[in-house]
Structure 1
Amino acid sequence: MTVELVDKRRKGQRIPGLGMANATWFSVLDIPGMEKLVNQQHTNDPLDITPAKAKKMADLVDAWTPHEGWSGDMAKEMKGYIVEFLRDCNGFRNH
């Protein structure tokens, strides 16, 4: 299964979404401090994140060191994609 993060801007104005494997996303949700911002349950229940929360999430992800094997051989790149999306989005929803 996968999760897709979609910018809240109107179609035609939004930045490209970000898709990832559930396990990758669930590891992000497990980052210490994330519990203050989002529901950390390992489900694909809808999230509706504000721009301010997305920026705080970006800071947590940026400071985080992924565990061995996270996101396969693209851990550094995936972490960068997530941080970039969270910093540049106008809040997001997941699908």
Structure 2
Amino acid sequence: MSVELIDKRRAGERIRDLGLPNGTWFKVLAITGMKKLIDTQNTNDPLQVTAAKAKKMAALIEPWTPPDGWVNGNDREWHAKMKAYLIEFLLGCNGFRTR
């Protein structure tokens, strides 16, 4: 299973969706401080996140070091790329919803 982060802008204006495996997303939800911003239950229930909260999420993720097995096993280079994609999405979106 996976979760899709979808920019809240209209279809012709939104930035590209970001798909994450459930395990990857659940580790992001477990970052210290995330619980204050969004529902961090390990479910695929839809979320609605404002642009301001998305930017705060990006700030929490920036200093975070992904754990082994976060994405593609223990490939640290891929971890850094995926973390960068996630931060780029959160900073560039106008809020997001999950599916």
Name the TM-score class by shorter chain: over 0.9
- 1:77 corresponds in structure 2 to 81
Are 1:51 and 2:51 counterparts? yes
Per-residue CA distance 1:12-55 (angstroms, 9 max, x = gap): 00000000100000000000000000111000111000000000
Map of 2:62 onto structure 1: 62
Task: Give TM-score, length-normalised by structure 1.
Answer: 0.97
Could you tell me which runs of 5 or more consecutive residues in structure 2 were left unpaired when the two chains were aligned.
none
Secondary structure of residue in 1 paired with 2:9: coil
List gaps (5 residues or longer) in structure 1: none
1:3 matched residue in structure 2: 3
Which position in structure 2 is the counterpart of 1:30? 30
Q: Distance in 2 between matches of 1:69 and 1:42?
A: 17
Q: 2: CA distance between counterparts of 1:84 and 1:63?
A: 14
- TM-score, length basis structure 2: 0.94
Residue 69 of structure 1, CA deviation: 2.1
Size of the aligned set, in residue pairs, is 95
Q: Identity percentage over the alignment?
A: 59
